[in-house]
Amino acid sequence: MSEDNKKNNKSLAIACASGSFKGAFAHGVLSGLESAGIVANAYAACSSSVIPAAWATLGKVNDLGVDYWLAGLRVLGEPDATMSKVVLGGIESFCPPKQELFLPEAPVYFVAASAVVTPEAESETQGEKAKRLGRKLLVSAGKKDRSWVDKNLRLEIFSSKNIVNLSKYSNNVIINELNSNNFGEVAYASSRMLHGWEIPAWIEGKPYVDASYTCLCPVIEMVEAGYQRVIAISNEPGILSRDMFGLEEIPENYRSADIHIVRPDMSSTEFGVDFTSATPSGLSAFYQHGIEKAEDVAAKLEMLV
């Protein structure tokens, strides 16, 4: 993309979905877009896409590369390994340079997480009952029953810049400050699925859980923040829903904003990648597939700019 086209992308946001190891696809798309010269004004992430999207915000996601995912897989293969240890190790070893991420001239960086808002839920999510609750919520997701989440959780967005509100349309979403001091806590909290992550998540002393319970991909939130075009990267073929309960589909146009949804051509399992398991060759292939899909998006944006 030409320098002139880059300048015209002031209204472009890129939002990345959750997916644990499946996030290798979203990472590949980010890498492909970066190589094509696509520079967004904002990057938004949740769960497994937090670290790759942070590097994309710096224009250095290709520096991270698929080694990020292969390192996580190696940690998972160690004795007594858990997904909590995999995620925390990834944050510690691959955290982007914070002094660059929060520079005034850097694109805005958003991270979604689910805040726990009732004392009863705090006890359940942060204590011994968490795994049981997590399994129950997976069953509820299959039934499209979001009642527990509606009562006990709230979507919150952390922003690297001072965003007053997500516009008049988003009365239920709270915007918090993302900074160098809380980045690690936010990154872990955004990815903590209750059924398999045994270490509780806290941000500045408040309980949180994975973004996926309230937000699979912060696309609509980017439109409501004022971005006129959004590239939404899904790690699954088919419909991209607003949360794991699948009650609301993310459309290709919302409040006059264009949403370009990037999806893999086939399920991640056909590449040998699932949420908490993968093969090294599968991760590499799924990452490369993301790069290939980014080429299609880059060509479309080139025509639209």
Confidence tier at 302 by pLDDT (50, 70, 90): low
Round to whole Å and give the CA distance between 273 and 293: 17
pLDDT at 168: 43
Q: What is the pLDDT of residue 225?
A: 87
Q: Cβ(40)–Cβ(13) under 8 Å?
A: yes
What is the residue extent of each domain of the chain?
11-300
Q: How large a percentage of the chain has pLDDT more than 90? A: 86
- CA dihedral for 189, 114, 26, 97, sign (positive or negative): negative
- Mean pLDDT over residues 210-217, rounded? 98
Q: Are strands 12-16 and 42-46 parallel, antiparallel or unpaired?
A: parallel
- Average pLDDT of span 268-277: 96
State the Cα–Cα distance between residues 233 and 242, nearest whole angstrom: 12
Cα separation, 297 vs 305, whole angstroms: 12
Give the tens place of pLDDT for each residue, 68-111.
999 999 999 999 999 999 999 999 999 999 889 999 999 999 99
pLDDT digits (tens, 9 = 90+) for 109-121: 999 999 999 999 9
Q: Which of 226, 231, 215 is nearest to 290 (CA)?
A: 231
The hierarchical CATH code for the domain 11-300 is 3.40.1090
Hunting for tokens 């004795």 — which residue is that?
Answer: 79
Of 303 and 246, the one with more pLDDT: 246
Predicted pLDDT at 226: 87
pLDDT at 231 over 90: yes
Label residues 249-262 b or e (16+ Cβ within 10 Å = b). ebeeebeebebbbb
Residue-by-residue DSSP string for 257-281: EEEEEE--SS-GGGGTB-SS-B-HH
User: Does residue 268 carry a pLDDT above 80?
Assistant: yes
Q: Which residues are CB-contacts of 282 (< 8 A; sequence separation ≥ 6)?
A: 268, 271, 272, 273
pLDDT at residue 301, as a whole number = 75
At position 175, the amino acid (one-letter code) is I
Span 20-47, pLDDT tens digits: 999 999 999 999 999 999 999 999 999 9
Q: How confident is the model at residue 167 (pLDDT cuts 50, 70, 90)?
A: very low
- Per-residue pLDDT band for 204 (boundaries 50, 70, 90) equals very high
Average pLDDT, the chain: 92
Q: Assign 298 a pLDDT band (cuts: 50, 70, 90).
A: confident
Residues 245 and 146: beta-carbon distance below 8 Å: yes
Region 121-144: mean pLDDT is 97
